[in-house]
Structure 1
Amino acid sequence: MTTAPTAPPSPSGVTDPAGPAADLTVLAVLDRALLGEVRRLARLAEGVAAGTVPVTERRALAVADHVERVCEAIRHRHEAEEDLLWVLLTRHAGRALDLSGLRDDHVALRGLLGEVRRGMRGVVAALMLRSLAVATAADFARMRTLAEGLAELAELLDEHVRDTGRELAAVSVPADAWHRGVRALLATAPDRAGIAVRLRATATPGEVAAVDAALGRAGTFARHALRRRERLVFGE
């Protein structure tokens, strides 16, 4: 009597006959989109701190609003991941999956997001009192601190995205349940329409189908409004 060979364990030690490895496509596109926005804001803040980028009161308020939107989107991305997707992964992977390192990253990122938001509010408060043309040394110091905070946020976020991909790539989970979780994460996002536009703009041709399936019609009519806002923020 012959015995059927057993499937070799995955690199993470996680095996689950209930489904294929979790499809991280949509989450990867979302992470690239958010990381790209943080990097754009970091470059903008560096220019303001160097005195090479002019900032009117109207533009300062638009930048502050954009920073808040991006920071809130990142916060939601991580909290919804824990509530919707990690619960699902743990249910199927059991003790073989250790999310403690990623959870620590989320805590550190939340703290840094808070620092960036406070820094942005301080810069705006200063610009409401004095234009950039008569800004004080303290004003420019606030701007440099904000630029450094955004750069640090981009660096930590980039590292966390890579770690997440390595940790979760081999975890098996029922495909239908996973897709429902991803759709729920996107559906509960703040500024859902704006996020949808960014996802579609960031996705490669090979990723578009997965993104569209997760989004449905969300963001269909928001592209022009987002573009107007970006022109005011980034001057593009």
Structure 2
Amino acid sequence: MTIAPPASETASDPETDPETGPASPTDRDRAPLRVTDRALLADVRRLARLADGIAAGTVALGERRALAVGDWAERVCEAVRHRHESEEAVLWPVLERHAGRTLDLSGLRDDHVALRGLLGEVRRATRGMVGALLLRPIAVASAEDFARIGRLARLLDELAELLEEHRHDAERELVGVLPRVPRADWLGAVRALHTGSPDPAFTAARAHVTAGPEDVAAVDAALGGRGLPGVLARRALRRRERLVFGA
């Protein structure tokens, strides 16, 4: 999912020219992608655990909460879809321009095809679950309803595993390429990806949850002051999060 290796797995930042600054992307420049990946993967895993609990009958799910769960899952799936399409349209052309034939993105493209198909399945299964629960409350749900919810949990687990595998594949393929990419080109692509998000407030607010103190400033700097959201936006989303996950 990412082309930005975790901070702990990256080499030290490239040398800085005293007149022009860093020649290639620094670890701080990669922070927006790193924290976004972390947030999306965390939410997929939480949704999988929630679906497991619903299928097991240990999680109560009324109409209001069911609608909120469906909305949250839809937002997460859309954020993942946008991220991958933007990588192909915005980020990868920058890498290919500077890496030339040494970069082989075919495997990552195959991952994206598989992920798009799986995202579609998750979305359909989520809508099916919510629709069924609006017709029949969980207290009187049928065996078929519980089987449908169990399938959603398995799909979400599969999605989380594939996203994690894709992240490691991307790190292996791309970490050696980034030092050849001009920093200005990288920052321009990352900012374009961020501003083109279909739901930037949601994605940014979720990323804030997984961003360490050092990442908050790094994200804001990399995005030219258009980084993570303020307190009010995070509080509003936090109320929605409590409804969905009961946390």
TM-score under structure 2 length normalisation: 0.85
Q: Is the 8 A contact 1:45 1:146 kept in 2?
A: yes
Equivalenced residue count is 219
User: Matched residues in 1 for 2:159 and 2:121: separation?
Assistant: 10
Query: After superposition, what is the alpha-carbon deviation per residue over 1:120-169, rounded to whole angstroms, capped at 9, x for unaligned?
Result: 01111110111101100000000000000000000000110111112111
Q: Residue in 1 aligned with 2:42?
A: 36
Q: Residue in 1 aligned with 2:235?
A: 224
Give 1:21 shift: 5.5
Question: What amino acid is the match of 1:178?
Answer: W
SS at match of 1:24: helix
Q: Residue in 2 aligned with 1:75?
A: 81
Q: Is the 8 A contact 1:24 1:169 kept in 2?
A: no
Q: Is the 8 A contact 2:36 2:204 kept in 1?
A: no
Q: Residue in 2 aligned with 1:181?
A: 189
Q: Is the 8 A contact 1:85 1:182 kept in 2?
A: yes
Question: What amino acid is the match of 2:46?
Answer: R
Q: Residue in 1 aligned with 2:244?
A: 233
Question: What amino acid is the match of 2:140?
Answer: V
Asked whether 1:195 is paired with 2:203, we answer yes
Across the aligned residues of Structure 1 and Structure 2, the Cα RMSD in angstroms comes to: 1.5
TM-score under structure 1 length normalisation: 0.89
SS at match of 1:80: helix
> 1:145-184 counterparts in 2 under 5 A?
145-171=151-177, 172-184=180-192
Which of residues 14, 20, 24 in structure 2 aligns to 1:20?
Answer: 24
Asked whether 1:65 is paired with 2:71, we answer yes
Please tell me whether Structure 1 or Structure 2 has the larger radius of gyration of its CA atoms: 1
Q: Is the 8 A contact 1:199 1:211 kept in 2?
A: no
SS at match of 1:28: helix
SS at match of 1:207: helix
Larger mean Cα displacement after TM superposition, 53-62 or 219-228 = 219-228
User: Matched residues in 2 for 1:100 and 1:58: separation?
Assistant: 43
Structure 1: where are the runs of 5+ without partners? 1-17
Structure 2: where are the runs of 5+ without partners? 1-21
Query: After superposition, what is the alpha-carbon deviation per residue over 1:73-121, rounded to whole angstroms, capped at 9, x for unaligned?
Result: 0000000011111000000001110000001000100000000000001
Give 1:228 shift: 0.9
User: Matched residues in 1 for 2:102 and 2:194: separation?
Assistant: 27
SS at match of 1:53: coil
Larger mean Cα displacement after TM superposition, 214-223 or 174-183 = 214-223
Q: Percent identity?
A: 65
> 1:5-154 counterparts in 2 under 5 A?
19-20=23-24, 23-154=29-160
User: Matched residues in 2 for 1:78 and 1:130: separation?
Assistant: 36
Larger mean Cα displacement after TM superposition, 112-121 or 178-187 = 178-187
Q: Is the 8 A contact 2:41 2:160 kept in 1?
A: yes
Question: What amino acid is the match of 1:194?
Answer: F
Question: What amino acid is the match of 1:233?
Answer: V
Give 1:70 shift: 0.1
